[in-house]
């Protein structure tokens, strides 16, 4: 597809205002919906990677070093939750995504994705556990329900976003470990794939490659590079994914059963240094075109579809964090097509690792640093 040039020119940030509470800072930035107020809800997190809201309004946050924390509404961080599996916290690896089961209020079940240490490196794994969120938070009944098969990672491209469908099945987006990009086109491994598993890790019988010789039955789609965002569009239930390209060619895709998304045969970007990727083409028969691509790359991470009332003009838009360009990208959609892109918070000066919609309709962001923050985005007026 033709890359869409942003139509909304954004000014620089308007400065920092310190509130009466010393731990809370407020900034204001322009947007198409009017000035945005950015509040620091919590800070002092070690490279936070993912955020989920508990049913009582508190937040669960993963730290890449291997800690899971509960964050109170006043920003207080719990001690690290006990019982988290051992992770390989090296390069891009560590404790990654967290997901609450659809029936969490009844069963207190959650899922974690992480870089599991094995001889020579790591692989993406999924663990299921029960959360006790009391004064001494802990996980119990921890079991590993999925382990990525294929060449090990030496530190890069774990992917690891996870979502749950209405039928209870889990989708996990998996990277191709960077040095093993060609495996994304082969079905005998899990590298560069989106997989679909049941909550206990078993294989749903209607997965597209069940019973196919030489194919792993968990695979739902393939030809991915390094997925960093995964979300269902609540308007129609379709599964969307975004992934890093190399030098350009970050993609926003609708993930469909059994489809091939092209990596590393086709790409809208080029290799680092400028050489062509694969065929040197952006399209090929039998391979899915992205709905949208970022060229040059913004290194997207974390995504959410906006459904709240605080920003009515943004309903139906998909938000993506930006690591490389340190921004928040909003892509407006119509009939599964990208209509426009707006880039915000470009004066923030921090990598945005995750984007979530809060229960109050605000946008919540995680900033990726050794002193990472949780930010709340609301209208300034």
* C-alpha torsion sign, points 25, 313, 54, 239: negative
Q: Which of 263, 275, 259, 179 is nearest to 224 (CA)?
A: 263
Q: Which two tokens stand for residue 114?
A: 């992480």
> Residue 211: how many CB atoms within 10 A of its CB?
8
Q: Computed over its alpha carbons, how large is the radius of gyration of the chain?
A: 20
The C-alpha atoms of residue 345 and residue 373 are separated, in whole angstroms, by 15
> CA-CA distances (angstroms) from residue 195 to 167, 180, 271?
15, 18, 26
Residue 224 annotated to the active site:
no
**Spatial distance between the Cα atoms of 66 and 8, rounded to a whole number of angstroms:** 39
- Is there a contact between 159 and 173 (Cβ–Cβ < 8 Å)? yes
Reduced to 3 DSSP states, what percent helix, strand and coil does the chain have, rounded to the nearest 5? 5, 45, 50
| One-character DSSP codes across 265-315 | TB-SSB-TTSPPPTTSBS--TTSPPPSEEESS---EEEEEE---SSSGGGT
- Cα torsion 74, 75, 80, 82 to 10°: value is 30
Any idea what DSSP says for residue 189? S
Of 157, 177, 224, 244, which residue is the catalytic one? 157
**143 neighbors 149 (Cβ within 8 angstroms):** no
Element (H, E) at 327: strand 327-334
Write a three-state SS string for 43-107: EEECCEEEEEECCCCCEEEEECCCEEEEECCCCCECCCCECCCCCCCCCCCCEEEEEECCCHHHH
Q: Tokens for 306? A: 């906006």
Active site residues: 157
């Amino acid at each position: 597809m033709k890359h869409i040039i942003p139509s909304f020119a954004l000014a620089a940030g308007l400065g920092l205002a310190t509130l009466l509470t010393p731990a809370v800072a407020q900034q204001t930035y322009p947007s198409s919906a009017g000035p945005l107020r950015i509040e620091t809800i919590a800070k002092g997190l070690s490279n936070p990677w993912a955020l989920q809201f508990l049913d009582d309004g508190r937040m669960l946050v993963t730290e890449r070093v291997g800690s899971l924390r509960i964050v109170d509404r006043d920003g207080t961080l719990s001690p690290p939750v006990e019982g988290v599996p051992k992770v390989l916290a090296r390069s891009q690896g560590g404790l990654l995504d967290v997901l609450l089961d659809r029936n969490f209020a009844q069963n207190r079940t959650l899922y974690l994705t992480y870089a599991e240490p094995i001889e020579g490196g790591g692989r993406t794994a999924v663990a299921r556990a029960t959360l006790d969120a009391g004064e001494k938070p802990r996980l119990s009944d921890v079991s590993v329900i999925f382990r990525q098969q294929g060449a090990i990672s030496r530190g890069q491209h774990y992917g690891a976003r996870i979502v749950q469908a209405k039928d209870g099945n889990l989708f996990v987006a998996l990277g191709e470990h960077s040095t093993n990009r060609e495996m994304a086109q082969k079905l005998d491994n899990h590298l560069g794939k989106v997989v679909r598993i049941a909550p206990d890790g078993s294989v749903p019988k209607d997965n597209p490659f069940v019973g196919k010789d030489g194919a792993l039955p968990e695979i739902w789609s393939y030809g991915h590079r390094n997925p960093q965002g995964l979300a269902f569009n609540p308007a129609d239930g379709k599964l969307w994914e975004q992934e890093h390209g190399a030098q350009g060619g970050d993609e926003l895709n609708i993930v469909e059963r059994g489809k091939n998304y092209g990596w590393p045969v086709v790409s809208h970007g080029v290799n680092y240094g400028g050489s062509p990727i694969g065929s040197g083409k952006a399209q090929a028969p039998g391979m899915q075109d992205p709905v949208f691509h970022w060229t040059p790359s913004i290194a997207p991470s974390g995504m959410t579809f906006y459904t709240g009332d605080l920003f009515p003009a943004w309903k139906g838009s998909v938000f993506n964090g930006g690591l490389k360009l340190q921004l928040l990208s909003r892509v407006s959609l119509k009939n599964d097509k990208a209509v426009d892109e707006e880039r915000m918070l470009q004066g923030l000066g921090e990598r945005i690792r995750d984007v979530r919609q809060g229960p109050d309709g605000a946008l919540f962001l995680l900033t990726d640093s050794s002193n990472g923050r949780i930010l709340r985005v609301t209208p300034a007026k």
